[in-house]
Structures are given as C-alpha cells and as structure tokens.
Amino acid sequence: MIDLRSDTVTLPTPAMREAIARAEVGDDVYGEDPTVNRLESMAAEIVGMEAAVLVPSGTMGNLAAMLAHCPRGTKAFLGAQAHTYVYEAGGAAALGGIVMTPLRNLDNGELDLDELRDELAKPPDAHFALPGLVALENTHNLCGGTAVELSHMAAVAELAHAHRLPVHLDGARIFNAAIALETTAKKIAETADSVSFCLSKGLAAPVGSLLCGSREFIGRARRMRKMLGGGMRQAGVIAAAGIVALETMIDRLVEDHLNARALAEGLGLVAGLNVRPVKRRTNMVVFEVDGGAPAAAKFAAAMKDRGVLAHARGPSSFRAVTHHGISRRDIDRVVAAAAESAGEVFGD
C-alpha cells in the first residue's frame, strides 16, 4: 500500500529503535529521566524558548497550553478551520470551560484580522466572556497544509499583545513551515508565547509532542499535563526516538515537499480531479473529485484497488500527505493510479 492518508503513519527508523533500546531512563514525574530532560532542552532551544515539556500527543500539547493560558470562562480565539477547534474533540471547552471562539480562516490559513480586531475591541461588559488567548496554526492542516506567512503571525501577535493576550501556536508541523517559508522554527515561534510541535508526524517518531514556552508557563503546563493523565514515568524510551527525530529527520522534509509538488502537478493533469492551489505548499495535496460523493467514493475504491490510500476530507474531497517512506517513484505510481481510476469512474 502507498499510504498517503497522513504523515502520522510514518514508522520509527532503525536508528530510533536502536536509541529506544539503549535509552537511559528514570522517573520523569520526579524530573529524573535524563533522556526526557535532554529532549526538552533541545526542543526549547530549537524554538528559542526557555523551557519545554514532553506530552504524548499534539492534542494534549494544545490542550495543556489552552488550560495553562486560559482561566475558565475566558475566550480562546482561533481559526474556524484550526485543528484545535475542529479535530480535538472540543477538549478545551469540555475540560477547561474555555469558550472557543472561531474566527474566519482565509484560504491561506490566516485569521481574518478584521474579525479579530472587532472581537478584541468589545468592551469588558458583563455580558461578554473575557478574552484569554489567540491561537494560530502553522503549517495549516485544513487549509491545504499551507505555511502561514510570518508577517501575518506578527500582525496577530501585535493585536493580541496590545490587549495583553498570549498567543499559542499549534506548530504540529513547524519544521515543514520553516522549510516552506525559508526560515527557522525559532523565527516562526518568535511571535508566539507558547508553541507545540509534533515528533510523530513527518519526523517519524512513534509518539510525542513538545509544548514550549517560558519557564513559568511550562511549570503550569506540567501541572495541566498531570491533570490530563499525561505525566509519564520512564518516558525516556519515547524521548530517545524524539531526539533522533530532531537530529536526523528535519532536513529530509524537503524531499516530502518536492514529492508533494510533483504529486500536485501530476494530479492536476488528471481529468476529473481538481487540485486545491496552495501558495506555500508543504507536504499535503488536497483535491476534489468531480461528480460529487458517489463519484468520489468510486474513485477512492479504485485507488485502493491499485494500492493507494488517501484521506477522505469531505464528501468529494481528499488529502494526500507525503512523508518518510514515500519515494518519488511512489508518486509516479500514485499519479498513474489516479489517471486509471479517474478513467474508470468518468470513462475514457
């Protein structure tokens, strides 16, 4: 199978398995796991923040951040297409009493700044929940995996900070963003007060995300992690793979971006498929199949028969994600399979 559903399907590399086997461990809830401590220092350094905490998932990283930033009953402004809003089971509302307040996302992943400005201009009238946080996402998953411009992040941060609000960045794929923006993760994180990023996506580690911020913030986030049941013990076995991921898997993401570009170009030539244009493409290709849900279901089945899996995003929309383990030859195979499948669905 050529599995393009997500970069989360990546498997740990032999070097990661080796590092897991050899990891020096201790009880991390006591702060005594040397491998976790090392990974957390590396993570903080990479994004230019004071401290970091290892969490099991990106979802827990974002949730712990929201809980640490927002008192109950305060508003978190975030994109209507944000992963945290759409795909994290409403955790911030359910567990934190946080009023998730969606703002329009533009196609390029940016927030509608006018909406944000209007929301922030509301008087502190007793009718309104008080604002607590502004959250951004980069790269932006539901907006086609596009990298969001630094200028936009800076504009959001300026507005938020003018109202004394912190900014959290869901940087699950921050290294993909850095490549697409020709910058560094540090530069991207500069405008945020906290950032979470994942080891278990394009970087191919089996588990784990890092939440980073000031020492004081991470202290509070650690308490939230514990509350959420994410205080892990000999977590060095996870961290060991994470260290290998940070040391060896970031630079190769360029290959995934080149493959995604080739895939977008190839699929764009197939009659019946419409590839969503993306300004700063990273490792994702979103495309629509003509003819609505029935045609799309037939197309997906025909692709599966040819050994290709994509993620169904909507009734007729798919996402294909390139990652470690997908080669340029695989991309050629996928494009050939798509042409055959479309031919089968729409008739040659």
Smallest separation, CB 137 to ligand TLP (Å): 5
Distances (CA, A) of 332 to 186, 262, 327: 35, 8, 9
**Selected binder of ligand TLP within 137, 190, 256, 288 (CB under 6 A):** 137
Residue 317's nearest CA partner among 304, 337, 301, 299 is 299
**8, 37, 184, 317: residue in contact with ligand TLP (rule CB under 6 A):** 8
Q: Which is nearer to ligand TLP, 144 or 272 (CB)?
A: 144
* Segment 174 to 193, residues that bind ligand TLP, using CB under 6 A: none
6 binds ligand TLP (CB under 6 A): yes
Q: Report if residue 87 touches ligand TLP, rule: CB under 6 A.
A: yes
> In whole angstroms, how close is the CB of 56 to ligand TLP at the nearest point?
8
Q: Which residues contact 335 (CB under 8 A, 6 or more apart)?
A: 263, 266, 267, 269, 270
What type of residue sits at position 85? Y
Q: How far is the CB of 201 from ligand TLP (least distance, A)?
A: 7
C-beta atoms surrounding 314 within 10 Å: 11
200 or 272: whose CB is closer to ligand TLP?
A: 200
Residue holding tokens 């201009």? 121
Q: Which two tokens stand for residue 228?
A: 């959420």
State phi, psi for 263 to the nearest 5 degrees.
Answer: -65, -45
Q: Candidates 74, 105, 194, 200: give the one binding ligand TLP (CB under 6 A).
A: 200
Structure tokens at 126: 């007793």
Question: What is d(CA 33, CA 35) in angstroms, rounded to the nearest whole number?
Answer: 6
Q: How are beta strands 2-3 and 308-309 bridged, if at all?
A: parallel
Q: What is the CA radius of gyration of the chain?
A: 21
3-state SS, residue 316:
coil
- Nearest distance in Å: CB 344, ligand TLP: 27
HSE at residue 89, side-chain half, CA atoms within 13 A, is 8
The single-letter code of the amino acid at 255 is E
CB of 118 to ligand TLP, least distance (A): 26
Question: Which residue in the shown chain puts its C-beta closest to ligand TLP?
Answer: 58
Contact assessment for residue 76 and residue 135, using Cβ atoms and an 8 Å cutoff: yes
Identified binder of ligand TLP from the candidate list 170, 193, 288, 330, rule CB under 6 A: 170
Per CB under 6 A, contacts with ligand TLP among 201-260 are 209
Check residue 141 for interaction with ligand TLP (CB under 6 A).
Answer: yes
Q: How far is the CB of 84 from ligand TLP (least distance, A)?
A: 7
When asked if residue 198 is in the footprint of ligand TLP (CB under 6 A), the reply is yes
The one among 47, 51, 172, 245 contacting ligand TLP by CB under 6 A: 172
Q: Binding segment for ligand TLP among 54-62, 108-116, 272-280, 325-333 (CB under 6 A)? A: 54-62
3-class SS at 50? coil
Contact pick of 10, 13, 35, 59 for ligand TLP (by CB under 6 A): 59
Nearer to ligand TLP, 78 or 270 (CB): 78
Q: How far is the CB of 171 from ligand TLP (least distance, A)?
A: 8
Residue 275's H or E segment, with its range, is strand 273-275
Binding residues for ligand TLP, rule: CB under 6 A, are 6, 8, 57-59, 83, 87, 137, 141, 170, 172, 198, 200, 209
